[in-house]
A and B are shown apart, each in its own frame.
Chain A
């Protein structure tokens, strides 16, 4: 127990980085995922092809490879830099990689949500003269979102857990790295491990409960 108290502040600071990453990546991947799904159902073949290529490539690549690639490939070799400060730069590289990765899963969830919307809805929308983008924005996507709130919750929970991989992109701040360093210097500590795991559960369990409750509340009755 002593170790947990001694290293608690450092671990908490690391966990804040995970929370920050989760918040930013959560918002970005919901936005990108929606854009991707709009591309994938659009009447423009080029956009459909671009969307599905992006989704299939990114989704089937290990997140560790994506993050390592954004640091060693994009940043070191190609000179992509968000900031002169290496730590800030690494932070945004993680945001880039994790948001790209998560947005493909958001896109797939939404696509299966679109499949739950009855055909008559789209036909009725067209019959009253709505254009494609109006149909998508006002009729299809709102119902699709409501159908996949629970799966989106699982995607977000997985993303929160995936913030622990941040060190693959050279961000040596997050709680997984702090835990690694502590274990490396003082040896393994069961209280520290349990503490960190509980910290993650305190964040992920309520997300699951909340999205489950919301899914029931907003379920479309058919």
Chain B
């Protein structure tokens, strides 16, 4: 069924069904309103609508001193990890496609192992391992970025591999037939087409990566979550919920923008005549659809 599934599951309502749907709409609205009302009542009861806990968010300083630097911390980690993960993913994805078993098999093991390790454990391990390897220092950002790179890079390696494999075999055969060498086939024929097919999946994985930067909160890396949930409420007492609302909106906004971008790319690549490969599914079953 296509996206019109909601209308295929039921007929255009007749008088009886309309009455029934009205009743359900009424009941559902009443239940929703009751839940919202209860939450508002509770919030009010705990004094969450008092002016003084909202006031800090009207002051520019709260944003310039806390939330924006926090957001920068999140974006720095995400940007670094995204670049390194894409590099890692391209290298290992291509290594997995190698004709040489001694390259293909180790690359496969690395990719499979790093995808299976819970990300937080990996970050903890790198965070504690670094000082004992190279001596003291601040390894918060390093541990976060390294963990994110290894995990998301491994998932991206699978995306790259699947992207190249999604190009119909005839393309490579034709390229060999006109006399291109192995590297030329990959570089000139397969990769350009695979890139279009895998872009939606890559962008979706970047959403996962961006969400996972919040794990930095646990190792006390100063990101948006840490600023909004620990540091800001310790300066302006009682602002926890309000600040959760603001940082939640920022996270959700960023991720939805990226998700829409992925969907747009998917639509575009489905129409694209630059590739003979079908676009990869955005999330399903390429590694893990969800991160921390």
Residues in chain A within 8 A of chain B (CB atoms): 41, 43-48, 50, 56-57, 60-65, 68-69, 72-73, 76-79, 101-102, 105, 108-109, 112, 114-119, 122-123, 126, 132, 135-136, 140, 148, 150-151, 154-155, 157-159, 161-162, 164-165, 167-168, 176, 179-180, 183-184, 187-188, 190, 193, 196-197, 200-201, 204-205
Cβ of B251 within 8 Å of any chain A Cβ, yes or no, is: yes
Interface contact A62-B240, CB-CB below 8 Å: no
Q: Mark B198-216, 1 if CB is under 8 A from A, else 0.
A: 0000000001000111110
Interface contact A165-B9, CB-CB below 8 Å: no
Q: Find chain A residues with CB under 8 A from B218 CB.
A: 64, 165, 167-168
Alpha-carbon separation in the docked complex, A142 to B119 (Å): 34
Cβ of B176 within 8 Å of any chain A Cβ, yes or no, is: no
A-B contact count (CB 8 A): 189
Stretch at the interface among B41-49, B160-168, B264-272: B41-49
Interface contact A115-B2, CB-CB below 8 Å: yes
Main secondary structure of the interface of A (DSSP, over half): helix
Interface contact A60-B284, CB-CB below 8 Å: no
Alpha-carbon separation in the docked complex, A17 to B266 (Å): 40
10 A–B contacts from the bound complex (CB under 8 Å): A41-B9, A64-B214, A77-B48, A135-B9, A154-B284, A158-B289, A159-B290, A161-B288, A162-B118, A176-B120
Cβ of B25 within 8 Å of any chain A Cβ, yes or no, is: yes
Interface contact A48-B6, CB-CB below 8 Å: yes
Alpha-carbon separation in the docked complex, A69 to B190 (Å): 46
| Minimum C-beta distance from A99 to chain B (A) | 13
Interface contact A158-B288, CB-CB below 8 Å: yes
Alpha-carbon separation in the docked complex, A43 to B16 (Å): 14
Interface contact B29-A161, CB-CB below 8 Å: no
Within 8 A of A (CB), among B18-52: 21, 24-25, 28-29, 32, 42-43, 46, 48
| Minimum C-beta distance from A10 to chain B (A) | 15
Interface contact A162-B292, CB-CB below 8 Å: yes
Cβ of B285 within 8 Å of any chain A Cβ, yes or no, is: yes
Q: Find chain B residues with CB under 8 A from A162 CB.
A: 118, 290-292
Q: Find chain A residues with CB under 8 A from B292 CB.
A: 62-64, 162, 165
Select one of A105, A117, A200 contacting B1, CB under 8 A: A117
Q: How large is the interface on B (under 10, 10 to 19, 20 to 34, 35 or more residues)?
A: 35 or more
Cβ of B138 within 8 Å of any chain A Cβ, yes or no, is: no
Select one of A76, A78, A150 contacting B285, CB under 8 A: A150
| Minimum C-beta distance from B157 to chain A (A) | 16
User: Which 10 pairs from chain A and chain B are nearest by CB?
Assistant: A62-B214, A60-B255, A188-B128, A64-B214, A161-B118, A183-B128, A158-B288, A62-B211, A164-B118, A60-B252
Interface contact A78-B43, CB-CB below 8 Å: yes
| Minimum C-beta distance from A162 to chain B (A) | 6
| Minimum C-beta distance from A203 to chain B (A) | 10
Cβ of B13 within 8 Å of any chain A Cβ, yes or no, is: yes
Select one of A105, A136, A168, A204 contacting B289, CB under 8 A: A105
Q: Mark B241-274, 1 if CB is under 8 A from A, else 0.
A: 1001001100110011001000000000000000
Interface contact B5-A115, CB-CB below 8 Å: yes
Alpha-carbon separation in the docked complex, A201 to B118 (Å): 10
Alpha-carbon separation in the docked complex, A190 to B128 (Å): 10
Query: Known contacts A108-B289, A119-B2; can you find 4 more A-B pairs with CB under 8 A?
Result: A47-B24, A61-B251, A69-B229, A158-B290
Q: Provided the pairs A72-B229, A72-B240 are in contact, do residues A155 and B290 lie with their beta carbons within 8 angstroms?
A: yes
Alpha-carbon separation in the docked complex, A183 to B207 (Å): 31
Alpha-carbon separation in the docked complex, A62 to B247 (Å): 11
| Minimum C-beta distance from A153 to chain B (A) | 9
Alpha-carbon separation in the docked complex, A47 to B117 (Å): 38
Most A Cβ at <10 Å: residue of B118, B129, B212, B255: B118
| Minimum C-beta distance from A48 to chain B (A) | 7
Select one of A123, A157, A187 contacting B8, CB under 8 A: A123
Cβ of B11 within 8 Å of any chain A Cβ, yes or no, is: yes
Alpha-carbon separation in the docked complex, A192 to B47 (Å): 46
Cβ of B10 within 8 Å of any chain A Cβ, yes or no, is: yes
Alpha-carbon separation in the docked complex, A101 to B212 (Å): 14
Cβ of B183 within 8 Å of any chain A Cβ, yes or no, is: no
Interface contact B118-A105, CB-CB below 8 Å: no
| Minimum C-beta distance from A197 to chain B (A) | 5
Select one of B8, B10, B125, B287 contacting A119, CB under 8 A: B8
Interface contact A46-B28, CB-CB below 8 Å: yes
Cβ of B54 within 8 Å of any chain A Cβ, yes or no, is: no
Interface contact A64-B241, CB-CB below 8 Å: no
Cβ of B110 within 8 Å of any chain A Cβ, yes or no, is: no
| Minimum C-beta distance from B245 to chain A (A) | 9
Q: Provided the pairs A48-B6, A122-B9, A201-B116 are in contact, do residues A164 and B121 lie with their beta carbons within 8 angstroms?
A: yes
Alpha-carbon separation in the docked complex, A116 to B281 (Å): 13
